[in-house]
Amino acid sequence: MDHDRAPLTAGDLGERALIERIAPRFGPPATGEVWSGDDTATLRAPGAELLFTTDLMVEDVDFKLSYSSGFDVGWKLIAANASDIAAMGGRPWRAVASIALRSETEVAFVEAFADGMAELSKELGLGLVGGDFSSGREISVSVAMLGIAPDEGPVLRSGARVGDVLCVTGALGGAAGGLLVLEEGIDGPGSGERGALMAASQRPRPRVNEGRVLAAHAHAMIDLSDGLAVDLGHMTEASGVGCEVDLDAVPLHEALGWLRDRRPQTDPLSLALTGGEDFELLLCLDGSELSEARARLGEQGTSLTRIGVVTEGPARIGNKDLDDWRAQGWEHLHNR
């Protein structure tokens, strides 16, 4: 009786059969390359500078199966890595994945995870060329990604100059707002807003095309993965500069008002500054280039907002020290 059959698990199938089941989603390999099925993948490197990064997501820390599908997890893992490549002005090129599963993890979850990785990879022109499985008591997944640096050279965090204007792409706080919606099960009229916030958290879109355009203008760039306060702190420290951020100028995700109506203790600005995972780009550029950069991003339908200036120091957001905000940002491992 089929309807009584227990779902097929990773342990039923085993490593090799699991690989055979998901590998076809990621092929065929590029011409002249070998992907999957040998000791390593083989790659025909372009004659450019390469970018190399990795991102790790652990069950119940970085995602929860109570509200994230396998597809969501796979998508977000690719997005987080691609966002790091975007922040250098590069484009995603090749990636490998490491996947630890519980033996009772359903094969359907693994397939959905692979589908999520494959769909965003296809959009980005990224080749998923290999991987490794192990088992564990919790699901943990990591991707290591190679990118191609822009012709202008990679945009580092350390290039901010005193007098530069500080800008962000898009709007902030949506991912943190979406996490609240998911964690607290917030609902009510306004399914468009609710869906937009959840999508910001679960299906972030890395700003790859935007990063490539901005590489021609930015002195320094970083992606907003840990929240504006933390990531701005990384940039000012790496560059040896300070900053002033105008709180009124920080672009807030348009659905945060909806969230505050349903959850009065919500502070949209605080979500924008300390929430993290928006995967927007923060950059410094010469003020004279702002209008051109803004026009070029506008062609892609993406806004570019001036939120402040680079100073000699100290680093301030509104009338507070950046560090006061930063203490509220997310950091792995730290006991609170």
Of 8-16, 194-202, 259-267, 305-313, the window that binds its own copies (rule: CB under 8 A) is: 8-16
# of chain residues touching its own copies (CB under 8 A):
78
Cβ distance to its own copies smaller for residue 120 or 255 = 120
- Least distance CB 26 / its own copies (angstroms): 13
327 part of the interface to its own copies, by CB under 8 A: no
Q: What residue type is 79 in one-letter code?
A: A
- Least distance CB 189 / its own copies (angstroms): 37
Residue 175, SS3 per DSSP: helix
- Least distance CB 331 / its own copies (angstroms): 5
What part of residues 19-58 is at the interface with its own copies (CB under 8 A)? 34, 37-58
Interface mask toward its own copies for 203-242; x: CB under 8 A = ------------------xxx--------------x----
Residues in the chain, overall count: 336
- Least distance CB 315 / its own copies (angstroms): 16
Buried b (16+ CB within 10 A) or exposed e, 171-201: bbbbbbbbbbbbeeebeeebeebbebbbbbb
> What distance in Å separates the CA atoms of residue 282 and residue 243, rounded to the nearest whole number?
13
- Least distance CB 127 / its own copies (angstroms): 10
Q: What residue type is 118 in one-letter code?
A: A
Give the gyration radius of the chain's Cα atoms: 21
Residue 208: name the closest of 280, 118, 157, 122 by CA: 280
Which residues are CB-neighbours of 164 under 8 A, at least 6 positions away?
A: 219, 220, 284, 285, 286, 287, 309, 310
Residue 98: exposure state from Cβ atoms within 10 A (0-12, 13-18, ≥19):
middle
Q: Count other C-beta atoms under 10 Å from residue 32's C-beta.
A: 8
Cβ distance to its own copies smaller for residue 190 or 329 = 329
Interface mask toward its own copies for 72-111; x: CB under 8 A = ------------xx-xx-x---x-xxxxxx-x--------
Q: Is the peptide bond before 28 cis (omega within 30 degrees of 0)?
A: yes
What part of residues 123-182 is at the interface with its own copies (CB under 8 A)? 129-138, 140, 142, 144, 146-147, 149, 154, 156-158
- Least distance CB 42 / its own copies (angstroms): 5
Cβ distance to its own copies smaller for residue 62 or 210 = 62
